[in-house]
Structure 1
Amino acid sequence: MAVSKCTRLSGTLIKQTLDSVDSILFDCDGVLWLGDQAIPGASDVINLLKKSGKKVFFVTNNSSKTRKMYADKLKSMGFTVNEDDVFGAAYCLAMYLKNVSKLQGKVYLIGSNAMRQELENVGIQQIGVGPDPISGAQLDWANVPLDSEVKAVVVGFDEHFSYMKLNRAHQYLNNPDCLLVGTNTDTRLPLEGGKAVPGTGCILKAVETAAQRQAQTVGKPNHFMYDCVASQFGLKSDRCLMVGDRLDTDILLGSNCGLKTLLSLTGVSTVEDALAHQTSGCPERLQMVPDYYVDSIADLLPALQG
Structure 2
Amino acid sequence: MAGAVSSKGCQKIRGSQIRDLLDAKRYVLFDCDGVIWNGETAVPGAPEVVSLLKQQGKGVFFVTNNCTRPRENYVQKFSRLGFNDVVQEEIFSSAYCSAVYLRDVAKVQGKVFVIGGNGVYKELRDAGVPFVEEETDVAGGSIYDCPLDSEVRAVLVGYDEKFTFLKLAKACCYLRNAECLFLATDPDPWHPLRGGRVTPGSGSLTAALETATERKATVIGKPSRFMFECIASQFGVDPAQSLMIGDRLETDILFGANCGLDTMLTLTGVSQMDEAEGYKDSDAPDKKDFVPDYVVDTIADFLQAQGED
Partners of 2:30 and 2:62 within 8 A in 1: yes
TM-score by length of 2: 0.93
- Pick the aligned partner of 2:156 from 154, 157, 179: 154
Describe how 1:211-290 pairs up with structure 2 within 5 A. 211-290=213-292
TM-score by length of 1: 0.94
SS in 2 for 1:297: coil
SS in 2 for 1:213: coil
- Pick the aligned partner of 2:96 from 86, 91, 95: 91
Partners of 1:245 and 1:263 within 8 A in 2: yes
Gap change, CA 1:302 and 1:192, over 3 Å in 2: farther
Gap change, CA 1:76 and 1:192, over 3 Å in 2: same
Query: How far apart are 1:279 and its partner, in Å?
Result: 1.0
Gap change, CA 1:96 and 1:303, over 3 Å in 2: same
Partners of 2:70 and 2:120 within 8 A in 1: yes
- In structure 2, runs of 5+ residues without a counterpart are 1-5
- Which residue type is aligned with residue 110 of structure 2? G
Gap change, CA 1:142 and 1:210, over 3 Å in 2: farther
Partners of 2:28 and 2:58 within 8 A in 1: yes
2:96 and 2:24 map into 1 onto residues whose CA distance is: 29
- Pick the aligned partner of 2:14 from 10, 16, 24: 10
Query: How far apart are 1:132 and its partner, in Å?
Result: 3.6
- In structure 1, runs of 5+ residues without a counterpart are none
Provide runs of 4+ in structure 1 moved above 4 Å: 192-195
Partners of 1:56 and 1:85 within 8 A in 2: yes
- Which residue type is aligned with residue 40 of structure 2? D
2:194 and 2:14 map into 1 onto residues whose CA distance is: 26
Partners of 2:265 and 2:296 within 8 A in 1: yes
Deviation readout 1:180-226 (Å, 9 max, x if unpaired): 10000101223455543221111111111111111001000000001
Kindly, what percent of the aligned residue pairs are identical? 47
- Which residue type is aligned with residue 224 of structure 2? N
Deviation readout 1:267-295 (Å, 9 max, x if unpaired): 11111111111111222110110001111
Q: C-alpha root-mean-square deviation of aligned residues, in Å?
A: 1.6
SS in 1 for 2:234: helix
Deviation readout 1:51-71 (Å, 9 max, x if unpaired): 111111000000001111111
1:22 and 1:195 map into 2 onto residues whose CA distance is: 38
Does residue 107 in structure 1 map to residue 112 in structure 2? yes
Deviation readout 1:154-176 (Å, 9 max, x if unpaired): 10111100111111111111111
Query: How far apart are 1:103 and its partner, in Å?
Result: 0.4
SS in 2 for 1:228: helix
2:7 and 2:187 map into 1 onto residues whose CA distance is: 31
Does residue 129 in structure 1 map to residue 134 in structure 2? yes
- Pick the aligned partner of 1:59 from 38, 60, 63: 63
